[in-house]
């Protein structure tokens, strides 16, 4: 585990999924770690993994603040299947309702945040999520008669990325939250995974907010209850794997196939040579990434809307989206 | 003037350009109005009209708060001409430098705001302006070595519109301004004109901020020094004319051609019948509106950048844009 | 009628909808015209008008080649309603199945054509239709196992417009048709209407192909069986009204309200003065035109897919779209 | 070389750049190969490599048909530099003028083709090239007075990809070529490289057309003089490296660093395990790929326009682009 973490550090990588961070921490073994509870449930074709980090010490070890990390994992490559999509939307909705129960009352206003760069394919999940989400807050002010009974105020913003706005995500979202006082922020972001098959098939929901530098967007400061003054639910989906990770896995697999000894320092040095250009920020994506992003954004928007507006039909909700 | 204003009121129109509001107020005659000073200069192919509203009473009459309104008018339909473009960029830059002189020092940070809906052709001028503008604030924090000597911090945001975010523009911009403390806000918006030939050929610069409901974006609350706590320079360009205005002009012209008496109440009633659908929010645009918007956004970005970063070449500045 | 046609000629307008051309020809009266048969049916909330032009002489008078022109008219402004959308999709599918029955057998290949400019809001209906349509032809060649039983080969192209390609639409489509030998071409285009309320609420289906200069795209040469060697079904939906038409209607309404005599020559001259800029190519559109286009493109794609792939569920078909 | 080619075959890779194919063939050594001539020139910051394949046998060995392959190589990562851009544009223009000299006379019409998928970031180079290119053919027909003296007819088409049109690229381009009779086709496509540093810094110009399956677009049938009946100049720029190639390079580097024996069969098997998802079509791209594509498309459009319209200024030519 330690050696792996060195690799991660050398390449300045993020292990965005708690379920992958936990695997790395255990070194792939089935051992118990103090302060980290893990639970796995399955439901038809879905596998739901809940990791609870209960102490700051465990948080430091796994690189995640204390809180709950729930990963819905669908079978890879089958997500473009209407029935499976519905199953995921239902599971996401159920999960969100449970995790937001402690701090969200029926008519409380919610601010949806779509992180990432709308002009960069693999990073546009957040902005696309906002496009597909029902937005209702302005009707409460200007046209309440256009609302369906029981619709809470929902607003949405895609703040863009530091490189194109010159503004920290936190500066924008904190500013908006202070002006509009939502009871909850739900932030969606594209993540980096360690495993190719997770692209387009995993959803992580967490009650700890968005961590610095997570994913390929540039959220340098955390978005969480402490920084925003509002609870933050983070929803993230892997859309890339770092090229360094893929290369390292290939070397490890080669070593085990060829009976040569894997050495992390040598692997790190070799990979750095190969990937030195573009500051090492090289991502691996499948050719169909644009389609995957669109598909995933729709699933997330569907699941979040179902959780926020219980009892209202999906196709009614779509009329309130962009 | 009064009858015209009734028409404007009936159709809930905005007279965004002060130069047009002044014309309406004078009833097309060359008379002096207390509290309104008007000055016209020409420069090669440009005509620059400066209207200064000096008293609140005059402001109430002309429908604009006291302050300066400068309109750069190029010959219509010739704007797609590189030399004329350069002439406009230079005039815009000169005008902005003069109007911002009282409250902007060389290294002061500036927040650029692109109002309007990026997904609606005629309303996307503001978001496109942000795309083409050099953004430098983050380099000051994270990579000062990438800046050219003398570059001030500039950030930029396109906040979207109420209908798709559920957020008032003021809420977003006020939030961001409070978090990031710019010395000046420069806000760009698409405007509605009274004359077709102004589309794509006029630029209005004002030191009074953006007024409620101006243009076809839905900025319902004003963005100005009072609401934001920061001075606001507004730059607006006409991209549409209301269909009601065009129809009324046609009726007026018909009456003068046919020796029948123009009657505003009858005209209003007639036009309302014809334009009753879509809540009357019908706009007239030329077929080439997308091209006009792109062209205009580039000119605005060029002029603003030249004013904010004096002495740095246009093509160097382009490298800092999206 | 003659006077009206002069107006149309003066402004170089197209009367794209046969139902409107028929109204103009009758001068708004309920008279019979030799060689033109008209039939109206209603179905729940839809009104279906079928005009059959039976002789070349009648064709010359109405400005449409002999053939069938079916217009599905939904109540205006209510189209963003899931149940009404389904009703329209079903009616469109039924209409297409009937009109293509004579020349389309179950497994015959079809070429879908999306006319217009994808980068110009009101003209992007055709390209968006292609985006939402199921495309299956390549699976027949390379992956037949991925097809659902009974899926015919469907290909699709959005050829762009003369102004951006330098190519006539006919040159591209004829070239593709000769290379790929479809049994039928279905071409979708944005149309100009005479009545604002038809925007977003009318669909015209015709078995006579696309006529020169129709709509706001620049199809200068007709696309029909004679020019392409393949039967062409044209589907068109109004997305604009000419500003000249709106102005003329306002003058007419004003005259009838004010008891002044309407004079077409004077009206024409007056409107020309007001609209002289931009070569007179000024369109009236509602503010929400982008949304209307998207909505309409989905309805058209749904109806065409249901007609071409009978018995396959809509949500299965969506998986074969872009 | 043979073993390397096995790897390439196993992963169904394309070695799009002749300069890389030649390196692979020589096994990295500086040896002469019958039927392949190679020449390197440098010019300020550019390196220009010309490979001439003179016999079909040599063509079979290097995997490229006989003809000329010229690669302009700029220093990596510095391309976003206005002076270097101008240098590349000039070199590209000079190269194109020389290579097209045998079959293109001053007023001959040219058809520009932008291959690839406009909706997929790394594959959108071709469509973007068309957007930025001056299109003049329609003016020759409809408005010759709008042309600058000496402008030849140029048309342009981005045919899309098989997966979204159901049409082979060849079917579309052959159809258009037969209808419009250009004297030359210039086709631009995104390529796959073997070396990360080539992304955004290499341009390959060839007089042999586009080969089957080249790049990440799906041109399954060659576009060349034989298939189209018109000479085809191909211009390609690397925008991705296959994840398999990166992984293999990492393993090779690791082996040489760790003194373990590289074994291609074992490497192939290992990499296949890691990359089995998404049919192995996994690409490595830098985070800034969208910006690279835009930048490269502008350089290509500039160089091609300078070659086709000698003596006309770049900023004049830009007015004829989209």
Q: Determine how many CB atoms are found less than 10 A away from the CB of residue D181.
A: 11
* The pLDDT of residue D230 is above 50: yes
Q: How far apart, in whole angstroms, are the C-alpha atoms of residue A226 and residue D49?
A: 58
Residue A5: what pLDDT? 67
What is residue A11's predicted lDDT score, i.e. its pLDDT?
A: 86
A267 and D250 within 8 Å at the Cβ level: the answer is: yes
At C186, is the pLDDT very low, low, confident or very high (cuts 50, 70, 90)? very high
β-strand A232-242 against A282-286: which pairing, if any?
A: antiparallel
**Is the model's pLDDT at C297 over the cut of 90?**
yes
The DSSP bridge pattern shows strands D282-286 and D232-242 to be antiparallel
Q: Give the rounded percent of residues in chain B with a pLDDT score beyond 70.
A: 96
- Alpha-carbon gap, residue A215 to C297, rounded angstroms: 35
Residue pairs spanning A and D at CB distance below 8 A:
151
pLDDT value for C288 = 87
Q: At what angle do helices A125-132 and A289-308 cross, to 10 degrees?
A: 50
pTM passes above 0.90: yes
Percentage of chain D lying above the pLDDT 70 cut: 96
pLDDT at D315: 82
- In this prediction, residue B218 carries a pLDDT of 45
Neighbouring-strand partners of residue A37: A52
Specify the DSSP class assigned to residue A223. B
CA atoms within 13 A on the CB side of A275: 34
Confidence of residue D3 (pLDDT cuts 50, 70, 90): very low
Cβ distance of C176 and D167 shorter than 8 Å: yes
Q: Each residue of C116-175: pLDDT tens digit?
A: 999 888 999 999 999 999 999 999 999 999 999 989 999 999 999 998 999 999 999 999
Q: Which of B288, B292, B299, B319 to mutate to test the interface with D (most CBs of D within 10 A)?
A: B319
> According to the model, what pLDDT value does residue C212 have?
59
Q: What is the pLDDT of residue A218?
A: 45
Distances (CA, A) of B228 to A165, A212, B184, B224, D91: 19, 29, 10, 6, 52
Q: Does residue C315 or residue B112 have the better pLDDT?
A: B112
What percent of chain D is modeled with pLDDT above 90? Answer: 78
C-beta separation of A73 from A201 below 8 A: yes
pLDDT of amino acid A297: 97
Report pLDDT for A217: 41
Closest CA to B121 of B286, B299, B318: B286
- The pLDDT, as a whole number, for residue A252 is 95
Contact B172, A179 (CB under 8 A): yes
Pairwise CB contact (< 8 Å): B283 & C288: no
pLDDT of residue D5: 67
Cβ atoms A307, A93 nearer than 8 A: yes
Which chain D positions have a beta carbon within 8 Å of B315's beta carbon? 82
How does residue D216 score in pLDDT terms, banded at 50, 70 and 90? very low
pLDDT given at position A313: 92
Question: Which chain B residues touch D315 with a CB distance below 8 Å?
Answer: 82
Annotate D10-47 with DSSP letters as a single string. HTT-----HHHHHHHHTTTS---BTTEEEEEEEETTEE
Least CB-CB distance to A270: which of D76, D216, D254?
Answer: D254
Q: What is the DSSP string of C264-291?
A: HHHHHHHHHHHT-GGGG-EEEEETTHHH
Query: Chain A closest CA to D242's CA: distance in Å?
Result: 9
Angle subtended by helix axes B125-132 and B289-308, to nearest 10: 50
**Which residues does chain A have within 8 Å of residue C319's beta carbon, measured at their own beta carbons?**
80-82
pLDDT tens digits, D129-173: 999 999 999 999 999 999 999 899 999 999 999 989 999 999 999
Please determine, for the modelled complex, whether the ipTM score is greater than 0.85: yes
| Mean pLDDT, contiguous 10-residue spans, chain A (322 residues) | 65 90 88 94 96 96 94 88 92 97 94 94 95 96 91 97 94 98 97 95 96 52 94 97 96 93 94 89 91 94 97 89 86
Interface of D with B (CB under 8 A): 80-82, 315-316, 318-319
The confidence score (pLDDT) of residue A219 equals 47
CA-nearest residue to D80 within chain B is: B319
- Where residue B173 sits, what CATH number does that domain have? 3.40.50.1450
Contacts B175 to A, Cβ<8 Å? 172, 174-180
Maximum Cα–Cα distance across chain A: 71
Q: Å from C318 to nearest chain A CA?
A: 10
Q: Which domain holds residue B56?
A: 4-320
**Cβ of C155 and D163 within 8 Å?**
no
Quickly state the pLDDT bin for C4 (edges 50, 70, 90): low
Show residues of chain D in contact with C155, CB under 8 Å: 165-167
Chain A interface test: which of D164, D216, D248, D284 (most A C-beta within 10 Å): D284
Q: Is the pLDDT of residue B135 over 90?
A: yes
* Banded pLDDT at D213 (limits 50, 70, 90): low
C-alpha separations of B158 from A282, B110, B123 in Å: 29, 14, 12
Query: Chain A interface residues facing chain B, Cβ-Cβ under 8 Å?
Result: 119, 135-138, 153-160, 162-167, 171-172, 174-180, 322
Searching chain C, which residue's CA lies closest to the CA of residue B195? C274
Chain C residues in contact with A298 (beta carbon < 8 A): none
Count of domains in chain D? 1
Q: Determine the pLDDT at residue A213.
A: 56
Inter-chain touch A282–D281, beta carbons under 8 Å: no
The answer for C253, left when phi > 0, alpha when psi is -120 to 50, beta otherwise, is: alpha
Chain A residues near residue C82 by CB distance under 8 angstroms = 315-316, 318-319
Residue of D nearest to B288 (CA): D322
Give the largest Cα separation in chain B, rounded. Answer: 71
Per-residue pLDDT at B4:
57
* DSSP assignment string, C236-274: EEEEEEEHHHHHHHHHHHHHHHHT----HHHHHHHHHHH
Q: How far is D177 from chain A (nearest CA, A)?
A: 30
Say what the alpha-carbon torsion angle B269, B275, B281, B285 is, to the nearest 10 degrees: -120
Residues A227 and A185: beta-carbon distance below 8 Å: no
* pLDDT number for residue A3: 47
> Which value, in Å, is the radius of gyration of the alpha carbons in chain B?
20
For residue B234, what are the β-bridge partners? Answer: B187, B206
Average pLDDT over residues D58-74: 95
Residue of C nearest to B290 (CA): C120
What is the least distance, in Å, from the CA of C88 to any CA of chain B? 20
Spell A50-76 as b/e; 16+ CB within 10 A means b. bbbbeeeebbebbbbbbbbbbbbbbeb
Q: What is the pLDDT of residue B211?
A: 78
**Whether residue B214 has pLDDT greater than 50:** no
Q: From the list B80, B316, B319, which residue is nearest D319 (CB)? A: B80
Residue C39, phi then psi, degrees to nearest 5: -140, 135
Chain D residues with CB-CB distance to B80 below 8 A: 319
For every residue of A21-86, DSSP letters joined together read: HHHHHHTTS---BTTEEEEEEEETTEEEEEEEE-SHHHHHHHTS-SEEEEEEEPPTT--S-HHHHH
Per-residue pLDDT averaged across C294-322, rounded?
93
Q: What is the CA radius of gyration of chain C?
A: 20
pLDDT at B216 over 60: no
D248 and D280 Cβ atoms separated by less than 8 Å: no
List chain B residues with CB under 8 Å of D80: 319
In the structure encoding, which two tokens stand for residue A72, read together? 């819905």
pLDDT over 70 at B38, yes or no: yes
Residue reference for tokens 């007709």 = C222
Q: At what angle do helices C243-258 and B264-274 cross, to 10 degrees?
A: 130
Q: Which one, of A231, A244, A235, A186, lies nearest residue A214 by Cα?
A: A235
| Cα distance between residue D168 and residue D160, in whole Å | 9
Q: Determine the average pLDDT of the residues in C27-48.
A: 93
C53 bridge partner residues = C36, C67
Residue C163 CA from chain centroid, whole number: 21
Task: Kindly identify which residue of chain C lies nearest to residue A288, measuring between CA atoms.
Answer: C322
Q: What is the pLDDT of residues C201-257, one digit of tens each?
A: 999 999 999 975 544 444 478 999 999 999 999 999 999 999 999 999 999 999 999
Q: Which chains touch B (3 or more CB pairs under 8 A)?
A: A, C, D
8 A C-beta contact, residue C152 and residue C110: yes
Q: Binning pLDDT at 50, 70 and 90, where does residue B213 land?
A: low
Instruction: For residues D67-96, give the mean pLDDT.
Output: 92
Q: Mean pLDDT throughout C35-53?
A: 96
């Amino acid at each position: 585990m330690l050696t792996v973490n060195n690799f991660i550090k050398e390449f300045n990588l993020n292990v965005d999924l708690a379920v992958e961070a936990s695997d790395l921490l255990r070194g792939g073994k089935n051992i118990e770690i103090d302060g980290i509870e893990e639970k796995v449930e399955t439901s038809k074709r879905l596998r739901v993994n809940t990791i609870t980090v209960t102490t700051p010490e465990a948080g430091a070890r796994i690189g995640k603040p204390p809180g709950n990390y729930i990963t819905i994992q669908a079978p890879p490559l089958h997500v473009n299947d209407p029935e499976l999509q519905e199953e995921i939307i239902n599971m996401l909705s159920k999960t969100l309702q449970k995790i937001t129960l402690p701090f969200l009352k029926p008519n409380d206003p919610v601010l949806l945040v779509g992180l990432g760069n709308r002009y960069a394919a693999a990073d546009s999940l957040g902005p696309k999520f906002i496009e597909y989400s029902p937005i209702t807050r302005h009707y409460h002010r200007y046209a309440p008669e256009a609302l369906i009974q029981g619709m809470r105020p929902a607003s949405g913003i895609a703040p863009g990325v530091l490189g194109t706005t010159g503004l920290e995500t936190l500066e924008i979202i904190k500013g908006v939250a202070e002006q509009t006082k939502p009871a909850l922020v739900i932030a969606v972001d594209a993540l980096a995974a360690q495993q190719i098959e997770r692209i387009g098939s995993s959803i992580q929901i967490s009650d700890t907010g968005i961590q610095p530098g997570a994913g390929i967007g540039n959220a340098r400061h955390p978005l969480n209850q402490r920084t925003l003054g509002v609870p933050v639910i983070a929803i993230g989906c892997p859309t890339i794997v770092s090229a360094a990770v893929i290369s390292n896995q290939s070397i490890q697999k080669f070593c085990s196939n060829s009976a040569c000894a894997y050495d992390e320092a040598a692997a790190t040095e070799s990979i750095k040579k190969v990937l030195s250009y573009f500051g090492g920020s090289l991502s691996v994506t499948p050719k169909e990434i644009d389609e995957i992003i669109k598909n995933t954004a729709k699933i997330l928007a569907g699941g979040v809307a179902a959780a926020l507006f219980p009892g209202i039909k999906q196709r009614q909700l779509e009329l309130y989206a962009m």
